[in-house]
């Protein structure tokens, strides 16, 4: 082949490649979910800017929405792209979580990988990966290693969600809220302001959506803001608003070359939102080889007594974390089939908050306590409050976990009560995300599970590190002890499963039996007793705390029997009925005896629940033990009234039960064995 002919062929090949790229840019690259209901289209507009849209059954969910990144001290990655390569793939398997709301999870998706390259002289490359599941969508940015894009800073992420109408949504604001501890509010999308995720949306096409993220690793947490638009524009655009470093930039990209997954659940009913496992499926498989030490449990604690001012965290005449008091709680736990006792205030120095994580107060004999607990089959649950002083904690963290490991402690509650970490960084910044990951991985090395309070919002990392068992990040029941506005309103708990609950397990700390607050008489638990029992099932956590003082359980043994038997690890979950902010009924099957447990709760209005039992095995009869509101029950005037009854039921039955204002029903259904 002559040089002239070779050069001619190269020119022809280049022209053909250019024409192919242009044609790809002009066509819409499509992806569908496995069942075909969801469809996504990707395109590059006339400026070479990436956009995507999403449809369900042919109807628009998202109109063409922008994608890209604004960089610091470098040209943005927003426009000027051409298509380098397009790849399609699919995946279908079933995996078993170490613990969870199901014994098995189906992971079935179709994938589109779009590889982009700049037409400019920089010729930087950016990949965007989309996955469609039957229950929603996930997509992420990938930053291939290249000479022109080594380490860099992200100033903003121009990830948009363009809705065809101004739908109703439930969210909590970013500004003025500490640790995600706020009441979820229902507003239209355009009126939300700067909000945290998850954001839950109800469309006019009877679809329910939830925007969040999955696998938050070495990156800043994603918040959302509506984009200002002209009044005559009926669409509403939400744009990512990442939590910044104290120095202003959002993300420092070094070794981790991918963003978290941006997720949207798409459900045909409010109840189906609760059954999506999309976020877990977008996290990596378990990295812990031996998980035998990771044990779900129900537990009590030396905790509520501090809020009621009956005891103190710090040492003194009313110190709560004493050897004798802990052993008394161990005795109660052993007698009531509870797995552990949380003890706060055990370590120096709660008076100054300059904590040591290896030095107990002199009246707390950890050797004697853990030996006694083992003899009774009850675990000590440890506590590391940091006060938000991350540097102090990281300097002691390995020694602190070694200390607990020495005494056979496998569960530790961590806390970060401080507006800023180390006095300058947000909890949900990349700084905070990196710290929390250090804690999880260090804990795993010492066979310790974490209950993280004041966290970054969960994103499904428990699949990869199942020792991250539960987290706060929610306005929990402690607000019913000291909130100056009176406590959590009745509607709060009937919003949580559809909002914060979509992010993962939450340590809400339910099951308060005493409805009087001697410290703040205007503040109290705004539920009935039956609702407190139901919350143990409704608000999922594999480490589930019965939070009240044990004296109040000893005074009410019959209602407490429901907690004594209720598991915290499940083989199956169903949602017989649900209406965001009004009511929800959740039924869960245990992993052992085939018993089902139902939690059903109401908000501001009383109602009659009609709970279909069609989820039961068709060839069995069950003994239903029902804990329900009495005729006189009312969260304001008569919260403690409760009725307990038994009846035989089958799958063809429906439980029709009156529920009071902020009331509820808890049911245990166990198969009746043949005589």
3-state secondary structure 387-451: CCCHHHHHHHHHHHHHHHHHCCCCEEEEECCCCCECCCECCCCHHHHHHHHHHHHHHHHCCCEEE
- The three state secondary structure string of 504-563 is CCECCCCCCCCCCCCCCCCCCCCCCHHHHHHHHHHCCCCEEECCCCHHHHHCCHHHHHHH
Could you tell me the end-to-end alpha-carbon distance of the chain, in angstroms, rounded to an integer?
91
Measured in degrees and rounded to the nearest 5, phi and psi for residue 662 equal 50, 40
Q: Using the 8-state DSSP alphabet, how is residue 246 labeled?
A: T
Longest dimension (CA), the chain: 99
CA distance 598 to 534: 7
3-state secondary structure of 474: coil
**Annotated active-site residue in 102, 157, 472, 478:** 478
What is the phi/psi pair of residue 299, to 5°? -150, 170
Q: DSSP characters for 563-588?
A: HHH--SSEEEEEEEEEETTTEEEEEE
User: What's the rounded Cα separation, in Å, for the pair 406 and 440?
Assistant: 18
List, in sequence order, the alpha helices (H) in 186-309. 270-273, 278-281, 304-307
Let me know if 478 is a catalytic residue. yes
* Torsion, CA 324, CA 330, CA 333, CA 334, rounded to 10: -130
Residue carrying the six token digits 């638990």: 525
Q: What is d(CA 344, CA 332) in angstroms, rounded to the nearest whole number? A: 17
Instruction: List, by residue number, the catalytic residues.
Output: 478
């Amino acid at each position: 082949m002559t040089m002239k002919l070779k050069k001619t062929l190269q020119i022809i090949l280049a022209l053909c490649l250019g024409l192919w790229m242009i044609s790809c840019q002009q066509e819409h690259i499509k992806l569908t979910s496995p069942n075909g209901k969801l469809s996504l289209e990707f395109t590059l507009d006339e400026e070479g800017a990436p956009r995507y849209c999403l449809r369900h059954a042919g109807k628009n969910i998202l109109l063409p929405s922008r994608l890209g990144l604004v960089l610091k001290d470098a040209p943005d990655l927003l426009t000027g792209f051409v298509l380098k390569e397009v790849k399609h793939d699919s995946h279908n398997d079933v995996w078993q979580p170490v613990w969870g709301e199901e014994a098995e999870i189906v992971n079935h998706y179709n994938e589109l990988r779009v590889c982009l390259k700049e037409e400019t002289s920089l010729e930087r490359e950016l990949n965007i990966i989309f996955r469609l599941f039957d229950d929603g969508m996930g997509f992420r940015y990938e930053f291939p290693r290249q000479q022109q894009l080594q380490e860099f800073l992200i100033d903003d992420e121009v990830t948009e969600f363009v809705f065809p109408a101004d739908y109703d949504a439930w969210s909590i604001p970013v500004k003025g809220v500490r640790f995600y501890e706020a009441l979820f509010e229902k507003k239209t999308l355009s009126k939300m302001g700067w909000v945290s995720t998850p954001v839950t949306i109800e469309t006019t096409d009877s679809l329910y959506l939830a925007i969040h993220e999955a696998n938050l690793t070495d990156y800043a947490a994603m918040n959302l803001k509506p984009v200002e638009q002209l009044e005559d524009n009926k669409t509403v655009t939400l744009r990512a608003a990442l939590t910044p470093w104290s120095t202003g930039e959002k993300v420092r990209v070094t070794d981790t070359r991918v963003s978290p997954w941006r997720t949207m659940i798409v459900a045909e009913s409010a109840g189906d939102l609760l059954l999506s496992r999309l976020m877990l499926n977008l996290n990596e498989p378990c990295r812990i080889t031996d998980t035998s030490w990771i044990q779900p449990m129900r537990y009590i604690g030396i905790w509520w007594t501090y809020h009621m001012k009956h005891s103190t965290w710090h040492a003194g005449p009313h110190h709560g974390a004493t050897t004798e008091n802990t052993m008394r709680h161990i005795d109660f736990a052993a007698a009531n089939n509870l797995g552990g006792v949380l003890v706060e205030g055990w370590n120096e120095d709660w008076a100054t908050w300059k904590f040591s994580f290896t030095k107990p107060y002199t009246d707390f004999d950890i050797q004697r306590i853990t030996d006694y607990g083992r003899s009774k089959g009850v675990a000590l649950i440890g506590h590391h409050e940091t006060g938000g002083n991350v540097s102090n904690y990281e300097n002691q963290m390995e020694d602190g976990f070694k200390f607990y490991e020495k005494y056979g402690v496998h569960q530790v509650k961590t806390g970060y009560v401080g507006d800023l970490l180390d006095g300058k960084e947000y909890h949900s910044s990349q700084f905070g995300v990196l710290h929390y990951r250090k804690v999880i991985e260090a804990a795993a090395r010492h066979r310790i599970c974490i209950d993280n309070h004041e966290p970054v919002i969960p994103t499904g990392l428990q699949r990869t590190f199942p020792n991250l068992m539960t987290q706060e990040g929610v306005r929990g029941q402690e607000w019913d002890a000291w909130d100056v506005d009176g406590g959590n309103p009745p509607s709060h708990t009937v919003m949580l499963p559809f909002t914060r609950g979509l992010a993962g397990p939450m340590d809400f700390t339910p099951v308060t039996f005493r409805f009087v607050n001697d410290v703040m008489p205007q503040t109290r638990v705004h539920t009935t007793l039956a609702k407190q029992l139901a919350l143990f099932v409704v608000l999922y956590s594999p480490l589930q705390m019965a939070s009240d003082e044990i004296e109040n359980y000893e005074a009410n043994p019959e209602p407490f029997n429901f907690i004594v038997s209720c598991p915290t690890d499940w083989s199956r979950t169903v949602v017989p009925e649900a209406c965001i902010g009004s009511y929800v009924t959740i039924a869960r099957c245990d992993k052992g005896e085939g018993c089902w447990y139902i939690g059903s709760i109401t908000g501001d209005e009383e109602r009659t629940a009609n709970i279909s039992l069609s989820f039961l095995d068709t060839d069995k009869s069950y003994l239903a033990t029902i804990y329900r509101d009495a005729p006189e029950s009312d969260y304001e005037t008569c919260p403690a009234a409760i009725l307990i009854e038994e009846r035989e039921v089958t799958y063809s039955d429906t439980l029709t039960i009156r529920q009071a204002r902020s009331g509820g029903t808890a049911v245990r259904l166990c198969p009746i064995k043949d005589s």
